[in-house]
Structure 1
Amino acid sequence: MVVTKATRRMVRHLALTATAGLSVVGFDRASAQSQAEHNIEFHLAAGDLDHALTQAADQSGMHIFFPSAAVAGKKTPGLSGRLTLSQVMGQLLEGRGLTWRLQDARTIIVSLANNSATIMLGPVRVAGTMSEARSPSTAVLGNLSTTYPGGQVARGGQLGMLGNHDVMDTPFNQTSYTAKFIQDRQIRNIRDALKDDPSVRGSWGTGSAGQEQFQVRGFNVGNGSTSYGGMYGMLSSTSIMSELAERVEVLRGPSALLNGMSPDGAIGGAVNVVPKRAHDTPITEVGTDYTSDLQFGGHADVGRRFGRQKQLGVRLNGVIRSGPTAIEHNALKTALTSASVDLRLRHVRLATDFGYQHREITGVIPYLALASGVPVPDASHVRRNIDDSWSYLKTEDIFGVFRGEADLFRNVTAYGSVGVHQTHFEGIYPASITVSDRQGNGSTSLPIVNTADYRTITADLGMRADLKTGPVRQVLAFSANRLDQTTNQSYAYAASRSVVNIYNETSIPAPTLSVPHHLPKASGSTLSSLAFADTLSALEKRIQITAGLRVQRVQSTNYNTTTGIVTSSYDRTAISPAVMAVFKPLKNVSVYGNWIQGIQQGTTVGSTYANAGEVFAPYKSTQYEVGIKADIKKFIVTFDVFQITQPSTVYNLTSNVMSLNGQQRNRGLELNIAGEIVHGLRTVGGLMLIDPVLKKTQGGLYDGQRAPNVSPVNFNMGLDYSLPLVKELAVTADVIYTSSQYIENPAPRRSIPGWTRLDVGVRYAIRNPASEKGKITLYLNVDNVAGARYWNSGGYNNLTLSAPRTFRIAAMANF
């Protein structure tokens, strides 16, 4: 930005003072020079030099003054690593006719190298805010990590109670996908934002009665395990619209210490949606889009910061889409509005987020089940939907979250959050079709009318302290959280099923079901925990060891919806420790390892067993993981091996006693790559090989078998290439391969074949005639461009058919 006259007078005064050989009051040149030689973690993206200087100021906490005219048009290849400020300024300005010097302990002056005079005339840009203190490393609000070149993935993410971490200091395999990645591919929901992740596989198709959930490392992960700014229970349990997200962070593996137990007890991984907030640069974007078959939508996104130091930020975001999808007899209507307000003061940061999401499906797509002995149908001939245009499923979500952070001392931050989420779910539909013979004949499940209200209240308190004692650095973290969820629900079934054939057009009559107005209380649950973690590091974080402990309490109660009498209850506590380590043999190489657990609610033994009424403590799944990361300036490569063991119940055939002695063990390796591998070519993706084995099964019947619903070979690669001959023209391609998988345990075991899908896209940006610096970007994306038809396992012995070839066209203008 071009600074005000008052600021320009101040800059000129500083320059004249230095020229006259006078010192600024309180300025210790030796101390300032020492600060310039101190190693700092820098991550400066390739691109415009003025942007790199701004990033350098933000990451060092300095104020950098530079002449706009002398910097305009100059580029930098970017740099990253632990460098001194002197090294960074030298590399940025080398060969560009510019020089720099320290004006005082917090100020750097950039000027023309051949200028004998120090006075800078003309427009001047200031990188850094004169009186705003940079958020400490212990803060989360205002500490959004920088991105790798190309802007598709970030250099770090949030690790629950441990706060934000650079990817090279993270003892896990974690990827943070950016809003740019989502927008460039015109992705509509959070699940699809992970489509280039080899460790993630979607289950249940969009438009079906099931949630838009997924698997991570072979275990089911529902939307209940998707947090919002680190808080569980705030987002829709059916589908989460991607326009909510500034970042989508996926952490592979259990995370009980970091995040506590999630509402659905997922152990395969955790997904965090980072809320959109106002940037220092004003945001004004409006757009329109079309999705085949006949779905139209619009989107607006506005963000501004106010105040002399941009303390107050406001971000407003709205989306609406409606119309038939590419699947016959199916239509989808979605709407989202969200608002964010944040305040950045010197030692206090506050933020609040509100949102409303509406989603309505008509012509609900049933998933497929197979009767015993019926082979898996040929996906190339199966119809994608039945004619049940009367069926619908509607969800409405409204939420509000308030967060606050306060720096009690230098690098000691206390934080707190509270959130409320209300969901209304309503629908009349047949959930599934059971195929009974080879000719495709079968019947629907009994149509259900299902209505529910869910209310979630969650709160989180904690503190992080970054202390240095001699050569050892110590980061302490404490967290206390609580989540209360109440469910009011009513459901009823129709009297009869409908006969269908999956190969032929079938129309089924509407049942005589009505939506109830009174919803009795069905269940309530409370998840509460206390956690403590200590990270010790030495040799400028070359060695880092983290150890911690979480005490998790799980309470739940179920009620008879007719009488209101308690039918069952659960109240147990589990202690979950974890140990993690990072070692950097080279400044751009990290070797890491972790031993960590996941927690799921235990079982109350049923009345048919000899030990009826026994209540098992929460189940603890355990992960061992070792990996290596290499940061090659513009991109990062990660390789790891892992093992996760999940306990389950079995019973003794002789004594009829149920016990927690069952086990599934998933072993695997992952290879991930993200960033810009050569100039103009950006990539995100990799490979996961996994061996899911049933180790201890009922009576040993299935011991040693590969677990069902997990594909052993998964390959994903997303490419984004800027064509060198046409400025602002880029093409994308996403290749997804999933190998065959069993869908059951009993022999003869049926399986679904492997499949490959190709998505392609192109985008082109032109100057916006209504704005001096704005652009209009045109997008064309085609999912499943080859029209591949394949079965996708739902992870619950159910099958869904792949979505057909789908076109998405959009135009986005920013001002």
Structure 2
Amino acid sequence: MKKKQLTAAIMTALMTLSASAYAAEQTTSMDSYELAPVDVEGQRQAAVAGGLVSTEARMGIMGDVSVMGIPYSMQSMTAKAIETYGDPSQPLANVLANNPSIRSSTSSPMYTDFSMRGINMNGNHFMLNGVPSLFYQFTTPPAHIIERMDITSGPNAAVNGVSMSNNGTNSGATPAPGTINAVTKRAANAPITKYTQVISGRSTAGEYIDIGRRFGKDNAWGVRVNGEMLQGGLALPGAKIDSKDFFVNIDHRGKRSMTNLFFGYWDHNIDGAQRWFTYSGNGRELPTAPNAKTSYDFPETWKRMYVKVLTLNHEQKLSDTWKAFFNMGYSFRDGTKMNSGANLQFDTNGNFTNTNRSNAQNESGKNMYLQLGVAGEVSTGDVKHNLALSVDRSRAQYWNANGYGARGLYGGNLYDGITFGAGFYPLPAMPTQKAQWSETNVGISLMDTMTFGKWNVLLAATHKHEYLKNHTNNTVIRNNNILPTWGLTYHPTTNTAIYYGHTESFSRGFVVTDSKYVNKGDVMDPVKSKQNEIGVKYENKGLLTTFSLFQIDEANRYDQDAGAGKFRYVADGKNIYRGAELTVNGQIAPRLTATGGVLYLDAERDKTQGGAKDGFFVNGAAKWSTVLGLNYDLSDQLSLIGRLNWMGKSYIDSRGPGARTEIPSYATVDFGMKYRTQLDGMPLDLSLMCYNATNRSYWMGRGGSTTFGLSMPRTIMFSAALSM
């Protein structure tokens, strides 16, 4: 942004504050300050005091239920939480990090990776309005369209129906430790007309529209329109973002039916901002993280992605106690990228090695989903049953092609910057896409939640048939399995729940398709994972607290260095994750709202080949992580916001002492303020946030992987949201 434009923006903000303060002095009633627009938007669910989390969340095919009745860890973040802690120039994981089980694996908007309880996840693990597998590694749902995010970090594999097994552009099959369901914004009873301007990073400027209306008899029909235009420089010098999207949500509420249609497109482009690395050295600890303002991109580094998405949800009452439901989803993405491979490798001294090379990638994917089911209530004696039965089908297709530059043309080091030798140009030509694989999953799910007295019992199972065809070598993999889930909840008091949950999940066999692997074409066996969790939930005086103990085991698959810039994708025993998690959300004082918690994670390997690495650490999984967000309302108009994130040290396989290298711990601090006022009688919210306020430079571990990220520098965001 030019200096004159920045000055004008600051002057406009100051004049607005002055005018609004004067108007506030002339107002005898403060009623207009008590209800921010975001609170109106969230009217469909009750929120814990402070408004950052909901007391309701989706429990798979059973629909929305009380969080207290769900036999596993569940945190449902509201639109207010997203608006308070989100920044459009950063990944959505920046908001998800308010949950202590979730740690971001990247600070760059070029990717979406994060870990949940030490296991790597990304956009593939999002559901949208209950529909799975519509996003992937580069995309998650845009933050500004989300009304609520139901974060499940516990055993729930059989309650959602079937989903795809892919986890990343290489389609690596890994059972997820949980799911995240994003619910899109819908028209509220009160009209919504909201215009927001955002300034972030070095020169990123964004404009947002949010319009919602209900009409027809009894306001049966609703339309919500959301749009974004975001463009400019990120906090990292030389990195830019250019993102445009437009989404429409249409819903109908009848006496015997409810229908919701959501559709839109997203044109998402990033220039620069690659921040992933690997280590070939033998140090006890990674070299000191370089200045986060340092760019490691060649000038033409970019990633382009175009996404179209649609979901349709319908419920039809069959009687006073039974209903039929239908869910459908479709997404298509098409994109290209030009960057330095998946990650940059450096040695003990921070020098870039001769294995690095440029990469041109051309890919696209198509996902389709259909689900039909019935749900209702019956009683057997004193036991009340909530039953649900569904049949669903999920299909995905993936096309991809890569072109590579020569090796040995990367020089320089972490601290002086990267250099590119003679012959680096011309860059590799963009290749033509080729079919890589297609996957079809068909499932039947049955779920019963039984209530009698103070007890709730959950029994669920999904019979899943998986069919994968690898088009590169004409390999076909079939897999049939049953995914069981059960849980038990006891309510000693109305605001206390003691629970136990168990689930087993499977992911299909996996064909190694990426040419970076020397064993390309190998077929890996299907992966089975088990989860157990026991915990207690307590809600009192506006505060919801959950404490849980859990254990997860999964097959251990990872990239083994094969030399010359190549890897071998190997399976070696399994990873076992044991831990304790505490989350706290709500008001801890009349004007003070807290969100966050603590995670302790003991992750180790077991049953490795010859027992060689039994008891070893799991790559990138830290033992401790903590997050604490505080919102303090100085008045009805002014709020102060602060957040502390701390991640303990973790380890990666290496040639260092004990065959490991440490990724040091780090802590970051975010703080800001929000001022609620009026402009010509219209509510105006002014927000100022500073992320990574101390400008800390640090390495970020990636669960289950030897790769790791570098932080982004301090980022300042200012936004003004006018509700008309």
Q: TM-score range by the shorter chain?
A: 0.7 to 0.9
Deviation at 1:709?
0.7
CA distance in 1, matches of 2:649, 2:233: 31
CA distance in 2, matches of 1:719, 1:201: 18
Deviation at 1:261?
4.0
Residues 109-124 of structure 1: pairs in structure 2 closer than 5 A: none
SS in 2 for 1:647: strand
Residues 496-535 of structure 1: pairs in structure 2 closer than 5 A: 496=407, 497-508=409-420, 509-516=424-431, 518-535=432-449
CA contact (8 A) 2:497 2:536 kept: yes
CA distance in 1, matches of 2:156, 2:419: 46
RMSD: 2.6
2:299 paired with 1:389: yes
Shift of the 439–684 alpha-carbon distance from structure 1 to 2, 3 Å rule, reads closer
Report what 2:258 is aligned to: 349
CA contact (8 A) 2:196 2:722 kept: yes
Shift of the 791–617 alpha-carbon distance from structure 1 to 2, 3 Å rule, reads closer
2:320 paired with 1:410: yes
Report what 2:181 is aligned to: 272
Report what 2:121 is aligned to: 221
Residues 32-431 of structure 1: pairs in structure 2 closer than 5 A: 144-188=44-88, 189-208=91-110, 211-240=111-140, 241-259=142-160, 260-264=162-166, 265-374=174-283, 376-381=286-291, 384-431=294-341
CA contact (8 A) 1:255 1:596 kept: yes
SS in 2 for 1:180: helix
Alignment match of 1:634 (pick from 542, 545, 550): 542
Deviation at 1:576?
1.6
CA distance in 1, matches of 2:317, 2:471: 45
CA contact (8 A) 1:234 1:420 kept: yes
Q: What letter is aligned with 1:398?
A: K
Report what 2:384 is aligned to: 473
CA distance in 2, matches of 1:364, 1:677: 39
Q: Could you list the per-position Cα deviations for residues 554-608 of structure 1 after superposition, in whole angstroms to 9, with x for gaps in the alignment?
A: 2111123xxxxx43221111112121011101111100110112222235799xx
CA distance in 1, matches of 2:570, 2:273: 39
Q: What letter is aligned with 2:240?
A: A
CA distance in 2, matches of 1:226, 1:532: 22
Q: What letter is aligned with 1:813?
A: L
Shift of the 452–377 alpha-carbon distance from structure 1 to 2, 3 Å rule, reads same
CA distance in 1, matches of 2:572, 2:233: 49
CA distance in 1, matches of 2:661, 2:184: 43
CA distance in 1, matches of 2:291, 2:498: 49
Report what 1:587 is aligned to: 494
Identity across aligned pairs (percent)?
23
Instruction: From the CA coordinates, give the structure whose radius of gyration is larger.
Output: 1
Report what 2:688 is aligned to: 780
SS in 1 for 2:131: coil
CA distance in 2, matches of 1:75, 1:369: 51
CA contact (8 A) 1:777 1:811 kept: yes
CA distance in 2, matches of 1:616, 1:319: 42
Shift of the 613–680 alpha-carbon distance from structure 1 to 2, 3 Å rule, reads closer
Report what 1:488 is aligned to: 399
Shift of the 745–599 alpha-carbon distance from structure 1 to 2, 3 Å rule, reads farther
SS in 1 for 2:223: strand
Report what 2:349 is aligned to: 438
Gaps of 5+ in 2: 1-29, 35-41, 167-173, 514-519, 559-568
2:488 paired with 1:577: no
Q: What letter is aligned with 1:400?
A: L
Report what 1:730 is aligned to: 639
SS in 2 for 1:258: coil
CA distance in 2, matches of 1:738, 1:634: 28
Report what 1:792 is aligned to: 700
Shift of the 751–616 alpha-carbon distance from structure 1 to 2, 3 Å rule, reads closer
Structure 1 residues 495-504 or 222-231, which shifts more?
Answer: 495-504
Deviation at 1:661?
8.0
CA distance in 1, matches of 2:266, 2:436: 24
CA contact (8 A) 2:351 2:411 kept: no
Deviation at 1:483?
1.1
CA contact (8 A) 2:129 2:311 kept: no
SS in 1 for 2:349: coil
Which stretches of structure 1, 4 residues or longer, exceed 4 Å deviation after superposition?
Answer: 72-76, 380-383, 603-606, 612-617, 658-661
Deviation at 1:430?
0.7
CA distance in 2, matches of 1:748, 1:804: 31
CA contact (8 A) 1:451 1:515 kept: yes
Shift of the 439–175 alpha-carbon distance from structure 1 to 2, 3 Å rule, reads closer
> How does the TM-score come out when normalised to structure 1?
0.76
SS in 2 for 1:506: strand
SS in 1 for 2:82: helix
Shift of the 556–623 alpha-carbon distance from structure 1 to 2, 3 Å rule, reads same
2:628 paired with 1:717: yes
Q: Could you list the per-position Cα deviations for residues 493-533 of structure 1 after superposition, in whole angstroms to 9, with x for gaps in the alignment?
A: 113432232211334354332224x4222211112211111
CA contact (8 A) 1:760 1:785 kept: yes
CA distance in 2, matches of 1:439, 1:353: 48
SS in 2 for 1:355: strand
CA distance in 2, matches of 1:438, 1:475: 61
Structure with greater contact order relative to length (CA < 8 Å, sep ≥ 6): 2
Report what 2:616 is aligned to: 705
CA contact (8 A) 1:674 1:682 kept: yes
Report what 2:583 is aligned to: 672
Q: What letter is aligned with 1:289?
A: V
CA contact (8 A) 1:361 1:393 kept: yes
CA distance in 1, matches of 2:590, 2:695: 32
SS in 2 for 1:192: helix
Deviation at 1:366?
4.4
CA contact (8 A) 2:292 2:711 kept: no
CA contact (8 A) 1:596 1:623 kept: yes
2:530 paired with 1:622: yes
Deviation at 1:437?
4.2
CA contact (8 A) 1:253 1:267 kept: no
Shift of the 152–591 alpha-carbon distance from structure 1 to 2, 3 Å rule, reads same
CA distance in 2, matches of 1:477, 1:145: 22
> How does the TM-score come out when normalised to structure 2?
0.86
Deviation at 1:372?
3.8
Q: What letter is aligned with 2:649?
A: S
Report what 2:565 is aligned to: none
CA contact (8 A) 2:108 2:273 kept: no
Shift of the 690–614 alpha-carbon distance from structure 1 to 2, 3 Å rule, reads same
Q: Could you list the per-position Cα deviations for residues 355-398 of structure 1 after superposition, in whole angstroms to 9, with x for gaps in the alignment?
A: 21121111241421111425511114576322512111111101
CA distance in 2, matches of 1:661, 1:488: 29
CA contact (8 A) 2:292 2:713 kept: no
CA contact (8 A) 1:688 1:713 kept: yes
Equivalent residues, number: 652
Report what 2:464 is aligned to: 552
SS in 2 for 1:238: coil
CA distance in 2, matches of 1:784, 1:75: 30
